[in-house]
Every structure is written in structure tokens, then in C-alpha cells.
Amino acid sequence: MANKTIVQLPEQTGVTDNDVLAIVDSGETTTSKIKVSTLLSGISGGGDLVGTTGDTLTNANGLGPADNIISGTTDFVNFGFNNYVANGSVNIGYDNTQLIGFGSGGVSIGRGNINGFTDYVSVGINNSHSCCGRTSMIFGKNNTDSSGVTLGKNNTSTNNNNPDSTIVGSSNTSNAQLVSIVGASNNASAQGVVMGYSNTGGADGIIFGGNNTTSNGGYPSSANIVMGNSNTISAGNTQTIIGNDHTISSTGLYNSIFGGKSNEITGTTSGTTIIGLQSFTATKDDMVYLPALTLVDYASYNFADDSAAATGGVELGGVYHNAGALRVRIT
């Protein structure tokens, strides 16, 4: 045969057991040959690379020993060992599982991840998608998610029928739809936002801080807001606390506590606000409770009568004084 360059050789369109490749050992002076099947067997570490007819495979498509369990027959990729592979799944690593009979399309990268349903993604170690046919993504370690996005470690999202929860942090638990948790050791059983640590959100709404607790008191939608530390809203609807160590146990509506410490609104009270007091309990509707007031710019509010106060810019119902005698403008 006349000398030819490689590009002049006829193209091989198939692979058979008789096909060989040239091998040159840098320590030898001779050229050897190796069968293609022997070469591929050595690369795969034990014969895992088998089947190349279209998209239909008869074994794992990838690299690694032959101890993977292959139950799928189409469109899957496996790189690693001890993986349990189903149709339409991708496994990179070891000890990963795509459960059979629960859909396809799962992706596991890492170790010990379990994908139970379609369109689940696990990146990390010992993560588990518990249920139930909804898109879910986990990044981290020892997380369990049924539907949503989880980033961190030891987090759990458990409500199979309520999707779209997002958890970022560690040791958080969500059992509701449309929940966003950022922090550590928080627990949310109603939709809303929880940020901080050791908060318990049992009512729709927003919690920022630490060791706060809300419950809906029987209302289907509570819309409570808590910001601070060690506050509790145990009943009612549309309640607001900003501060520390406050409690709203009233079954009423639209109560608020701002600032101060250890204040409480009880009974069936509605529409009441406490501002800046300490250890005070409110039980009446539509009240505003304040500590002592001080007019810092008192000299500018000294007027002889309502007419002079009006000229000076005091609105109807506004407060002024006459040589220290407190007055309210009514005309």
C-alpha cells in the first residue's frame, strides 16, 4: 500500500471487536496494537461504557466500575459508582438514587442524594426529594425538599401539595406554600417571609429577628408582622409588633405595639396602639397609649389663643400652650 496521510485514509463508520489502534510506548522502540474494546474497557474501569445506538443504552453511559444499578433504558447518564439510575436521569458521583416509577429527569451531583420525582436537582451530600412530582432543587447537605429551592444544610420542606418554598440557611423547616426562610432554626407553617433565627411562623405574614412566634388564631389569612426579639402574636388578624418581649393575644384586629418592652394587648381589643411603654397591658378598643410627651420646641408653641395659634401654623386639634397652660386649638 502506498504511503498516505491520516486524512487520506477511509473513514470508519462503526466499531467492531476487531478494530485496533496503534500504541507507542515511550520506553520501547516498537509499535504495538490494542483492540478498541480492550481500550474502552480499561477506561470505564470494568465495562460500564456499553451501548451507543442512538439515544438507547443498555447500560450506564459513563465512567466508573460496574456496580451501578441500571433500571432505565433511555436517555440517562452516569459517572461514578453505586448509583441507582432511571430513565432520563443524570448521576455524577456515588451512592445517588433516582427512584424508579416516580417520573424521570432527576439530576444528582455528589454523594448519597435521592431523587424521587421529575425535574428534581440535588447538588451536594445526602439530600432527599421526598415527593411529589413538582420541580425542586437542593444545594448543600442533609436537606429534604418536596417542592421549591433549598440552599444550605439540615433544612426540611415537607408539604407535598404546597409548592414554591425557598429556604436559605441551616436547620429550617417549611410546611406551607409560598414560604421564604433565611436564617437558622426557623419553622414556618404558613405562607410568608421568615428571616433570622429560632422563629416560628404559624400565621401568614413577615417575621424578622429571633425567637418570635406567630399563630393565626383561626383566621385563614392573618397578615401579621413581627420585627425584633422574643415577641408573640398568638391570635387575631393584621397585628404588628416592632420591638422586644411584646405579646398580642387579642382576638381582635389591627392592633400594634411599637418600641418599649414587655407590653401586651389582650382580650378582644381592636384598633389599639401602644408606643414606647414598658410592661403595660391594653384592653380597650381604638386607643393610643403613649408615655409622657415633651414639646422640645415649646417656645414656638406659645400663643395667646386659637386665633394666634392658627396664625402660627397650629392645625385644628393641634396642641399649643399659653405661658405653660396646655391648650388644644378647636376654632
Map grid coordinates 516498537 to a residue: 30
* Banded pLDDT at 263 (limits 50, 70, 90): very high
Q: Which three cell numbers, joined as nine digits, stand for 325?
A: 397652660
Q: Count the Cβ atoms, other than its own, within 10 Å of residue 52.
A: 12
Tell me how far apart the alpha carbons of residues 76 and 90 are, in angstroms, rounded to a whole number: 6
Calculate mean pLDDT across residues 22-38. Answer: 74
* Banded pLDDT at 87 (limits 50, 70, 90): low
pLDDT, tens only, 206-241: 999 999 999 865 555 578 999 999 999 998 889 999
The angle formed by the CA atoms of residues 193, 217 and 227, to the nearest 5 degrees, is 35
* Banded pLDDT at 61 (limits 50, 70, 90): very low
* Residue 37 confidence (pLDDT) above 80: no
Residue 267's Cα: distance from chain center in Å? 36
Torsions phi, psi for 211 (to 5 deg): 60, 30
Sign of CA dihedral 71, 74, 76, 79: positive
Using a cut of 0.75, tell me whether the model's pTM lies above it: no
pLDDT, tens only, 286-314: 999 999 878 888 899 999 999 999 999 99
Written as one string, the DSSP assignment of 239-278 is -EEEEES-EE--SSBS-EEEEEES-EE-TT--S-EEES-B
